[in-house]
Each structure stands twice: as C-alpha cells, then as structure tokens.
Amino acid sequence: MSFKSLRRAGIATAAIAALTLSACSAGSSEASSSSGSDEGISIALSNGFVNGWRLTLINKFEDEAAALQEQGVVSEFTTVNAPGENSATEQASQIRSLVLQDPDVLLVIPASSTALIPAVEEACDAGITVVVLDADMDAPCAHVVRNAYDMWGEVSLMPALDAIDGAGNIVINRGVIGSQPEEAFHERQLEILQDYPEVTVAAEVNGFCDSGTAQKEIVSVLGSLPEIDAVPGCIGGMGIVQAFESAGRDAPVVVFDTDGKSLTFWKESGIENGSFAALTDPGQVIAAIYVALAVLDGQDVPQQVVLPLLEIGQEDLDYWVDALAADEYAANQWDKDTVDAAIAAIAAGEEVVAPALK
C-alpha cells in the first residue's frame, strides 16, 4: 500500500469516527459555521450535463457534503459539469483535470458507460476512490451505485395493471428507444405482460420520458384508439392526461413524473384512479457518498450497489407536494444507517428497502 493510500485510509477511519460521534450527539441544536477539517475527505462530483433531475441530484450532493463538512467528515467538495451536450469526450477531459486535483473520492455520472472507462481507470490508478452513479460500467476498480432499469420497467407497469384489475386496453409509453436503459426497461415490461392475457396493448408511443413529447404522441394516435384504461411506461403522466382531456376522454391510469410541478398537477386534478409516480432516484448520490466512505474505511462493499427506485402512490402524494418546489424531484432520503443496511442486504442476497419518509 502506498503512503497516499495509507494516509487516505487513516483519514477515512477518522472521518467515520467523526460521523459516528456526530450521530451519537445528534440531539444538539447548535449550528456550526465551520468550513470543515483539513483531515476530512475531499469529494468531487463529475456530471455530464444538467437537467431538472440532475440538478436535484447535484443539490442533494452539495447539501449532504456541506452537512458532513460541518461534522468534520468532509474537508472540501466540488461539482463540475462538463460543457457541451452530454459529451463523453468533454467529460473525460474534465475527469482528468479533477484527478490532477487529487480528491479522495470521485463520483461520476457518466455521459457514456463505455467511453469513460479509461478516464475512470486513470482516477483509480491515481489512488482515488471512484463511484459511478446512475449507470452501469465495466470498470472493476470503481464501485457502482445505481437503480436497475429492468426494475424501473416493472414499477412503471405493475401498479397500473393492479389498478385496472389485470384487464383492459393499455398504451405503452416508451422512453429513448435504442438506448440500453430503455431496452432493459421495455424487455421487463414485455415479460410481465405475458402473464396478463386479458391486457391488450392497443398502441406504443415514443414519449422520450418527457411529458410534452408524450402529450404530442398520444394526441397523434388517440383518435384511432378504443377506450384506454392505462398508459404505463416512462413517466409523462401530466401530458398524457392533458391529451385525453383535450379529446374529451376520461384520464387513464398514468405514471407521473416525480417533480413538484407534475405531482401538484396530479393532486389538483383530483385524479384518484390508481395513477402513480415512478422514476430513478436522484437521492442515490447521497448513498454514493456513504458507499465511498465505507470503501475508504476498508469495509467490504459490493462492487454493484443497486438501490430501489423512487415510487409515489396516492397515500404519499400530499407529503411530496408539500415538500417539493415546482422544479425539484423527489428523492429517497438515504443516510449512513440506511446505506449501511442496504450494503448488508446486498451482501446477504436480500431485498434492499428504500428509506422511510421522514
């Protein structure tokens, strides 16, 4: 082990001890304005591009890192967004620049799961603990924290089938056709539908996981369709409901986005037909921080940490409407204890449970 690795291991042990001590004394209401300890962990986040979902993820990262900085666990943190339109070339250059700054931890939301492997491996070779987010990557030196796209396909369909009692006409709202995530998403949906012979797929539309696009796609086919009971798939519920309403038809069961605007629309529309919201979880970045700390502490952490998606049913709608700004996305509320429990569950081959609402 190199001197740098020994130093980082020592810092990680001290950081975990500080975190544990802080948790034990959490009853104190005194706020700290400390900029952090020089002996804490330095963390960098490399992001390929910014949209509303990723902006929520970035904000979650910075809020958690700032809280850990006050506890002396984190010394400094930075977020760098690659220029351009999700360019792997730009992000690879960005990662190499971050490596020169020698952070203890590098979190990466990759523009490409293949093109960025060399840059990630270079970071590992420099002694940096790397955690890849929201994507799979064939880089054994890095840990991966993600949601499962096949499970997303399942949770975007099963509540709809339950709501229509396993029978009726549906339209499948697909995502970015041709992408690896969408292929896994859609394949799982087709597997499930084989067990529902009384469900008829009346049409498929390509909503691109976007409410406005889904609305246009539904409008273009709705006139030729029979009564539709549900439109499961890649979110877009607000636009889909608007398309049905503009045609004078009852709203089907839909999958809403998990942002404040969509959830408020759902509530104010008074839709209580079994509609729901399901999306990948921007809170996974908080889990990634604690995974990195566990790795630095020498704990046995699975290389793949696959976490539950964000799911919202009618019973939790009021909570999230009150909690979210219009452009903010709901996120599972991970912390050290729930991440430790998730790691233990994965190691034991058990189901990982999402954190309870606080």
Q: What is the pLDDT of residues 112-158, one digit of tens each?
A: 999 999 999 999 999 999 999 999 999 999 999 999 999 999 999 99
Supply the pLDDT for residue 27. 38
Supply the pLDDT for residue 5. 46
Ramachandran area for residue 79 (φ above 0: left; ψ -120 to 50: alpha; else beta) = beta
Confidence of residue 26 (pLDDT cuts 50, 70, 90): very low
Tell me the CATH architecture of domain 3-147+281-308+330-347.
3-Layer(aba) Sandwich (3.40)
- Note the pLDDT tens digit of each residue in 264-299: 999 999 999 999 999 999 999 999 999 999 999 999
- Whole-angstrom distance, CA of residue 350 vs CA of residue 341: 10
pLDDT higher than 90, residue 104? yes
Whether the Cβ atoms of residue 311 and residue 332 lie closer than 8 Å to each other = no
Whether the Cβ atoms of residue 115 and residue 88 lie closer than 8 Å to each other = yes
pTM of the shown model: 0.89
Residue 265 CA to chain centroid, in angstroms?
A: 22
Domains of the chain, residue spans: 3-147+281-308+330-347, 151-279
Confidence of residue 17 (pLDDT cuts 50, 70, 90): low
3-147+281-308+330-347 and 151-279 in the same fold: yes
Size of the chain in residues = 358
- Whole-angstrom distance, CA of residue 252 vs CA of residue 158: 15
Supply the pLDDT for residue 28. 31
pLDDT higher than 90, residue 19? no
pLDDT higher than 60, residue 7? no
Q: What is the CATH number of domain 151-279?
A: 3.40.50.2300
Confidence of residue 12 (pLDDT cuts 50, 70, 90): low
When comparing pLDDT for 37 and 173, which is higher? 173
Supply the pLDDT for residue 10. 56
Q: With H, G, I as helix, E, B as strand and everything else as coil, classify residue 152.
A: helix
Supply the pLDDT for residue 192. 98
Confidence of residue 3 (pLDDT cuts 50, 70, 90): very low
Here the contacts of 180-187 (C-beta below 8 Å, separation 24 or greater) are 180/113, 180/149, 181/149, 181/152, 182/149, 182/234, 184/148, 184/149, 184/150, 184/153, 185/149, 185/150, 185/152, 185/153, 185/156, 185/234, 186/153, 187/150, 187/153
Lowest mean pLDDT among 30-34, 66-70, 159-163, 296-300: 30-34
